[in-house]
Structure 1
Amino acid sequence: MYFKHWIKKGILGLTLVSVLVLTIGVFAKPSPQSDYEGLPTDGNIMDETYLSSNQFTQEDDLSLVENFLDIPTSYLLVGESSSYRLYMEEGSFAIRVESKIDGFIYGSSISTKDDNLPNFNTTWEGIVNSAVTIKYYSYNDTTGAYTSVEESFLKSEDSTYEYELIPNGFEATLYFGESGISLLLRVSLDNDYLKVEIPNESVVEGDTYKLRSIKTYPFLGAVFSNTVPGYILVPDGSGALIRYQEIDVLTDIYEFRYFGQDNSVQTALTQEPVLSFPVSGMILGINQHGFISIVEDGAPNASLVVSPAKNNLKYYYTYNEFLYRSLYQSPLSESQAASSSGRLVIEDGINTCNVVLKYKFLSGADANYVGMASAFQSYLIEEEMIVDHVDDGDAEKLFMEVIGSETKTGFIFDEYLQMTQYSELKSILEEIASWDVKPIVSYKGYSSSGNTSSGLIVDNISKKLGTRQELLELINYAEEQDIDLYFFLDPVKVYDDAKFSIYKDIAKRINQNFMMSSGFTKDIYYISPARSVSAYLDSVAKLKQEEITMYSVGSVGNTLFSDFSDKSNPVDRNEAIDFYQTMFEGSSDPVILYQSNLYTLKYSDVYLLMPLSSSRYRIYSDTVPFIPYVLSGLLDKYAPFSNFTSSSRIELLKMVDYGVYPSYIITNQTAYLFQDTELKQIYSSSFSTWKEKMEFDVNFVSSALNAVVNEKPISRERLETGVYVVEYTGGVSIYLNYTNNTVSVDGHELNPLSYEVVISDD
């Protein structure tokens, strides 16, 4: 692609040479009249309406909730642990879980399989009562179209089963009479978890119908309308709640794909939320009862589905659906291939998907979103999916993404923009060190090709940014000052003017188009997972020759897709994860990843671009710090770049509230130079403009969070509209006032848009 890029420029140059020879006068690029880049100001007035919106956490209804389910006599006791009893109904394999802690009963159905259920038709009775419901594809010979058909296990009289008891549970082989599809369901108590499994090798298809998806126990925890105070937790952004409301207040069903859409099969919608952590939950009485649901295996093929109470189905319920096969558009001509259109067909093969779900039940003070975060953190520690990397030093914390250079496409020759030279970055770090701040730095665009034009394997270190001696002085200064200076690599995507082989390096979609998307000024190509590994290792080896040993890695942790380059042996998303993990396994090189999904979390020294909000869908009632609290005490977390926030004080308060540190994109030169480049969305970045604001932000946030380093939140309470208190282990509380008014709470007077740290004497 790099060679093709220069051929086009050469042809253009030959065409225009005669015009250029005759041109009289000197053409010069005008400079901006001012290097001033204004700071954002707080123009929004925080009022009752804004603070009561789903961008904030709302008041809890703490009404007492009694058992609303019982254990029918037809249910068999099949498992018992120190805290729970598991019951099963033979034939439907619906379950009840009884807590020995508080006596509360959780159930996957409302009654028994033989009872007529109010508010449900026959089809839905089957879905509610069945342990497993599948969807399969039916082909219409007349129209040539595929339709998706839903089949609960109880739908057909031809369905059959065999089951046996196992330690603390049961196994059931289920044959679906309508589709001819069979599978094995395994349910057991695993210490304090309820474990539900469908092994991949147990799924067998018939000759006629092909499996689309599987869901298990979709009505576990279902709530009729708003009869129970509580909510559903969705790990969208920082975390979102869906509080139970009256029937038909909300009617849309929402589906969220873990780790984002697989763009090699189906293109994601614009701004579609990415669930980086495969966990969800329900609260059935706040501070009383609830559970989290963890997708332990199968998450790359799973979606979280949430349905509100509607007139035709009066329950709030949520479940995980596992996708085994998709519809896609198969082109019948070159023009259809170019436009990604064609005839809708189903995938030939079936996704490799081991379904493993774990439910952790919560009681008392743990039955809320803070307790959910704590329970999920405990699970991650148990499974060694997270590593304690918290920096417990006294220095204040800041993340900076520093851009060294960028390439601007010229009429004939490209222009190399020197944005932050090695010596300039060293001077910036020296000034920041005088603030008693220890920044984490990701240095981008240090190669001879600029930031977005760098090749798949990193290009030579730029001499235009300084001498090798100046580079080594920068690296040595960072080491001496205990500053973490990472050099950026992205082995998953390249821009169209970079050095790569489109046929050897680029992944293919299921329709055999190359994996690509459109940037602001260039096209972006996505690298096949296997090639990403070798390219990363080659780049690391090359950088180590320059004494560069710390790496910030883009896209690997947050971009996941299948690769159909080899049609006979495609790489699915599970296999792609395996490839990405091999980049870091066994390596002691310090690495940071951008907004990492769960599967690479343990490899990153910090968590970058931690969201401070959710996608704010209409179904959401609240935004909560669920994901930040999951990582509390284990990973330092850094917010999205503050260059682009409009309500800076509100964002700073959220950082304190959520336990997250500030981030900035920084250059030495003005961002005006980025106009007409791929980085043109960066409209303000020069250190001289932002340094005063940066110093204030860092001091504002760290003055609070330094009191809770290595501590974990144990509760978060909304005291009144816009006023909260977060209690931590170690006896520290942080009071926050998001309002424009002075408020008095618990004997503390809080100024507008401020916080107070209170340390217990006990």
Structure 2
Amino acid sequence: MTLSKVRLLWTVSASAVVLAATLWLGVQIWSWQKQASTLPAKTAPAGAFASAGSTVLPPVLPPEERFKPVAESASLKLLADSVTGHFQVLDKANGSVLRSYPDPAYWAKETLPAGWKNNLLSPIIVEYANISNFKSATKTVGLIGEDGFVEGFQTTADGFRATFVFGKGQFKIPVEVALKNNYVETSILDEGIVEGGSFSLLNAKLYPLFGSKPTDGQDGYLFVPDGSGALIRFKPNRIMQQLTYNESIYGSDGSFYKENTERQPVTFPVFGLKSGSQGFLAVVTEGAEAANVYAAPSGSVGISNWVTAEWQYRKRFFQSVSKSTADGFFTYSADKFAVPRRTVRYYVLGPQTNDYVGMAAVYRSYLQNEKGVKPRQPTRQGIPLYIDLIGGDIEKGLLLDRYKTATPTSEAVRLVQDIYDRGIRNLTVHYAGWQGDGYSTHGDYFPVDSRLGGNKGMKAFIDFAHSLSIPVYLAANYSINNDGKGFWPRRDGLRDLAGNVLETQLTGRQDPSSFVSPGFYRKKVASDLPDFKGLGADGIYFEDGIGSLLSTDYNSRYRASRGEAIGVQRDIFDRTKQSLGAVAANNANAYVWDQIDHLPRLADDYSYDIFFDEAVPFAQIALHGLIGYTSEWANLRDESRNAFLRSIEYGAYPTYIFTSSASDKLKDAYSIWQYSLNYKDWLDSLTEEYRRTDEALSAVQDKAIVGHRALAPNVKETVYEGKYRIIVNYNSTEYTEGKLRVPGQDFVVVKGEAAP
């Protein structure tokens, strides 16, 4: 499912009257937005932005002798330059230094024009514009070249505090840098931001060059959280060098313009950099919902490879001026996004831990120690098998839509029994498409569609599953509505800043569906929980919605920022767990990982951008032994054998999507178009795949992944705690290494032997 696409091209009517009306309306909208501001910018007289004795920063690197110690921990030392606000972090174990500015050893080779060289020398880069004029161009600048200087530098108990002043743009941005045991933390303090002129802040990158390195002589890569994780290796003479990676953490905000890059959403707020024996993992700990991950491989923006958080303050949206035409213009929100503190932790990694496995281990520790994600405690024999059942759906008819029954509750009993009789005891069922009119109809979920057996039939099925100790989750997507029962889009729909109710086209065959305000779906879920409980459901599987979609809501009845929407979603999950006992959400964002019991269909690949070099199982390494996860449904894989081997390599449990009806029964349905759903066709291969997966993963369900690497082209090794190794060979020919033999297109398990 994708967010509705906003028209990208603005047009202006040839009529002078329409043009005048458009301009007048633009000014009025800006005025209305300004009056509604929830976090007004502080203002200051123009003289406050003059240096008044402070040093206007020159376009040069800060000299080494100006850096003075300001904080120290057991493993790190923080040094700062009070003139520029730059800092260095010294790793006391090996003497290596990570700088917040370009490496002086390579700066003379930088070939960028003076403007961008000034930006890279600056401790902060901002983009701003005069948003009162929608035709105004944006400007990207650093302190240097903007009559910029550092004001009020002072040391603190664990670092320093300072304010960056942009003389030309007339901004003041206060920041803090603090040193902890094994990380340095940078923060922007939004409450102290001052916008004193006609310009408005759009975004900011704080210390963007921290830890950056050029490609020359450096064996390294940028790590970005695309899909399961992706590496951008340091390369000279990279093709398409002007491209950068810039994606919103927790996915795009549907209330604003988003360039359609077809990239996978960012579900966890991290990024990293490895360079030789140095490296870091960055975790965005506060304000992640208002941040992008921005990565610039060498040659795209300078000779260095760098990755940073781009903090969003305002975003573009399309303001339509006519309901009947496409006339309108792009403008920016007047209000800044309200995030009191924007913080990134940079964990310093040494030579033995600075690869993506070490980065994932740090994030795993963070999830456990600070986000409350608890280790798994397997209580049943064998690995779990997850089965998604489709009850029914509708297809377009000549005059009226036609309902297609796929898996009545009575037949679901036989389906589960047949799988159970294959010796698979650890089974979990997600039942979808059980609501009135089936899988593609969302809104009023109860009662269960009578053509499937109604509430009575569903309760009987769940009681049967419980007799075999099989939990049943009922799937639902409360984030969209297309049945209209008790829901009025103009009143209850998710609205963008222009006042439009957001819609999505689930399929080309179906009419658009409205996105639902978080405030409304919180009430709806709460009212439905007694019905779920009455059926005996063990949990709700929030599919393709709550937990994974996050947008600002400008509906005046339910208005919520992205941060507030996170609070709503977490509240829903908490109430669901209290009422039913469990929650699941597919490929969910990290802000709910401490609340879910398993992660269906966790991304196990990347977006294949031209500058990406390979996918890595960062998310799986961080999560294995904490939260169980699956990959794509086994019976819908594009490359069946390779995808199966990847699930073994990544430590994923098996999952299938089934119906009890013929495979072509739903071929013309609105949402369920797959042709390989009949469970009987898959029983033999399911049994064999489950056996092989159980052989590989049963012994390490509660173990962490501590190693992952390529042993040879298309041969991967995953290492678990306790010297437990799985070697996967994607080649068609056998892989040999000493006594080790791995058949082509297969895997082997090696127990009790350390990796060579």
Smaller-chain TM-score bracket: 0.7 to 0.9
Deviation at 1:305, TM superposition (A): 1.2
Give the structure 2 partner of residue 161 of structure 1.
151
Deviation at 1:78, TM superposition (A): 0.9
Taking structure 2 as the reference length, the TM-score comes to 0.86
Give the partner amino acid of 1:625: P
Structure possessing the higher relative contact order (Cα contacts under 8 Å, 6 or more residues apart): 1
State yes or no: 1:630 paired with 2:622: yes
Unaligned runs of 5+ in 2: 1-60
State yes or no: 1:517 paired with 2:507: no
State yes or no: 1:433 paired with 2:433: no
Q: Deviations over 1:1-52 (max 9, x none)?
A: xxxxxxxxxxxxxxxxxxxxxxxxxxxxxxxxxxxxxxxxxxxxxxxxxxxx
Give the structure 1 partner of residue 245 of structure 2.
254
> Paired residue for 1:315, among 287, 304, 310?
304
Asked whether the equivalents of residues 62 and 84 of structure 2 are also in contact (C-alpha less than 8 Å), the reply is: no
Distance 2:247 2:454 in 1: 49
1:273-292 aligned within 5 A: 273-285=264-276, 288-292=277-281
Distance 1:477 1:570 in 2: 43
> Paired residue for 2:184, among 194, 208, 218?
194
Give the structure 2 partner of residue 244 of structure 1.
234
Taking structure 1 as the reference length, the TM-score comes to 0.86
State yes or no: 1:642 paired with 2:634: yes
Asked whether the equivalents of residues 169 and 197 of structure 2 are also in contact (C-alpha less than 8 Å), the reply is: no
Distance 2:163 2:224 in 1: 32
Q: Deviations over 1:637-689 (max 9, x none)?
A: 11111222132111111111110112211100124222332124322211112
Q: Deviations over 1:687-745 (max 9, x none)?
A: 11222222222222221011212111211221111112222111211122111111211
Asked whether the equivalents of residues 87 and 96 of structure 1 are also in contact (C-alpha less than 8 Å), the reply is: yes
State yes or no: 1:443 paired with 2:431: yes
Distance 2:147 2:122 in 1: 13
Give the partner amino acid of 1:465: L
Distance 2:458 2:650 in 1: 36
Q: Deviations over 1:152-188 (max 9, x none)?
A: 1233335451111101200002221111111211001
> Paired residue for 1:661, among 631, 653, 660?
653
Asked whether the equivalents of residues 108 and 220 of structure 1 are also in contact (C-alpha less than 8 Å), the reply is: yes
Distance 1:272 1:612 in 2: 13
> Paired residue for 2:136, among 119, 128, 146?
146
State yes or no: 1:350 paired with 2:336: yes
Distance 2:468 2:534 in 1: 23
Q: Deviations over 1:532-556 (max 9, x none)?
A: 1111111212222333342111210
Asked whether the equivalents of residues 734 and 757 of structure 1 are also in contact (C-alpha less than 8 Å), the reply is: yes
Distance 2:331 2:457 in 1: 58
SS in 2 for 1:525: strand
Give the partner amino acid of 2:421: S
Distance 1:146 1:387, change over 3 A: farther
Distance 1:519 1:495, change over 3 A: same
Deviation at 1:400, TM superposition (A): 1.5
Give the structure 1 partner of residue 65 of structure 2.
73
CA RMSD of aligned residues (A): 2.3
State yes or no: 1:386 paired with 2:373: yes
Give the structure 2 partner of residue 735 of structure 1.
727
Q: Which moved more, 1:504-513 or 1:630-639?
A: 504-513
State yes or no: 1:689 paired with 2:681: yes
Deviation at 1:262, TM superposition (A): 0.8
Distance 1:712 1:427, change over 3 A: same
Deviation at 1:394, TM superposition (A): 2.4
SS in 2 for 1:557: coil
> Paired residue for 2:356, among 369, 380, 394?
369
Asked whether the equivalents of residues 457 and 491 of structure 1 are also in contact (C-alpha less than 8 Å), the reply is: no
Give the structure 1 partner of residue 315 of structure 2.
326
Give the structure 2 partner of residue 585 of structure 1.
574
Distance 2:636 2:377 in 1: 27
Give the structure 2 partner of residue 39 of structure 1.
none
Q: Deviations over 1:210-260 (max 9, x none)?
A: 110111111112121242001111111111111100034341122121111
SS in 2 for 1:147: coil
Give the partner amino acid of 2:734: T
Give the partner amino acid of 1:448: G
Distance 1:452 1:528 in 2: 19
Give the structure 2 partner of residue 41 of structure 1.
none
State yes or no: 1:576 paired with 2:568: no
Asked whether the equivalents of residues 92 and 154 of structure 1 are also in contact (C-alpha less than 8 Å), the reply is: no
Give the structure 2 partner of residue 203 of structure 1.
193
Distance 1:124 1:392, change over 3 A: farther
Distance 2:670 2:731 in 1: 39
Distance 1:312 1:529, change over 3 A: closer
State yes or no: 1:614 paired with 2:600: no
Distance 2:225 2:524 in 1: 32
Distance 1:71 1:80, change over 3 A: farther
Distance 1:156 1:739, change over 3 A: same
Give the structure 1 partner of residue 167 of structure 2.
177
Asked whether the equivalents of residues 447 and 458 of structure 1 are also in contact (C-alpha less than 8 Å), the reply is: yes
Give the partner amino acid of 2:123: A
1:292-311 aligned within 5 A: 292-310=281-299
Asked whether the equivalents of residues 621 and 706 of structure 2 are also in contact (C-alpha less than 8 Å), the reply is: no
Give the structure 2 partner of residue 673 of structure 1.
665
Deviation at 1:414, TM superposition (A): 3.3
Asked whether the equivalents of residues 80 and 168 of structure 1 are also in contact (C-alpha less than 8 Å), the reply is: yes
Distance 2:72 2:417 in 1: 61
